[in-house]
Amino acid sequence: MQKLSKSRIVFVGLTCGSLLSLVAFRSQHERAHAGGSPSVSSSRTSQLPPTILWAWERPERLGFINPAKVGVAFLAKTVYLRGDRVVSRPRLQPLGLSPGTPLIAVARIESEHSSNSAKRPTLSGAQITETVATISELGSLPNVLMVQVDFDAMISERAFYRELLIQLRNKLPQSTAVSITALASWCKGDNWLQDLPVDEAVPMLFRMGVERKQFLSQLAAGEGFSAKPCQTSAGVSTDEPLALSLPIQRLYVFNPRVWSPESLDQVMETYKR
């Protein structure tokens, strides 16, 4: 795999006092579609490559990827729900990218489940509005084609999450896709995702705990996910390789270690991407 020289690598750097300090560049995708407003999900996601690498909160140098085949979903900010407050923390680690890399900005939501009632989130309308405002800022970042929300919402938090996604969809540009990560149980048998205003829900097929054996045996038998938003993508991890037979359009890959050309090559070989 050909590596790019330092001069062709764009670094996404963050400071504590700002959301994201991105090097000012625009991809050909952005320039070509600056005036368009596709409203259909397939149109919004058509520019995304078939393989997406998750880049979590650590320094990553991903200038070696081929942007025509591989995109990056990077943790852009973490949002904490505490009492009636919304605390937002931006990404603090650098991210090295080759110019034109298709990007997905990920917002992780953490809600306080403490026994202390004063710390548990109120899930109020004001808290929804503030959370939507801070996440929607990610849609204006260069090369970001989609905003992804990562929230392991409890049953008691689903009404809050649903309204948050409705407001987020309305606040983002119509050309920006909306994605969520999803527990496998949300996609099969628990159909609360069906009418959410999202372009995709990514079933997380790793770190599944006691449900792992059941879900993997069903997938191996050719049983897909019943929830329509879960039928185009899947999320896997490099340390839990799977034999996937699902006809998915996009594969998201998490790596507990720093990404390297060798680990990417292994993913492409394992999943025949």
Residue 238: alpha-carbon gap to chain centroid: 17
CATH code for the structural domain at 6-31+49-270: 3.20.20
The structure's pTM equals 0.85
Q: Which of 97, 99, 98, 76 is nearest to 26 (CA)?
A: 99
Summarised one tens digit per residue, pLDDT across range 64-95 is 999 999 999 999 999 999 999 999 999 999 99
User: Which residue did the predictor score with more confidence, 63 or 213?
Assistant: 63
Rounded to whole angstroms, the Cα distance separating 41 from 196 reads 12
* Average pLDDT score over the chain: 84
Pairing type for strands 200-203 and 10-13 reads unpaired
Length of the chain in residues, anyone? 273
- What is the amino acid identity at position 86? V
Summarised one tens digit per residue, pLDDT across range 176-203 is 999 999 998 898 877 799 899 999 999 9
Decide if pLDDT at 152 tops 50: yes
- What is the amino acid identity at position 220? A
What's the mean pLDDT in 15-29?
33
Question: Where are any strands of DSSP class E within 56-165?
Answer: 60-62, 70-82, 85-90, 95-97, 103-111, 144-150
What's the mean pLDDT in 219-245?
87
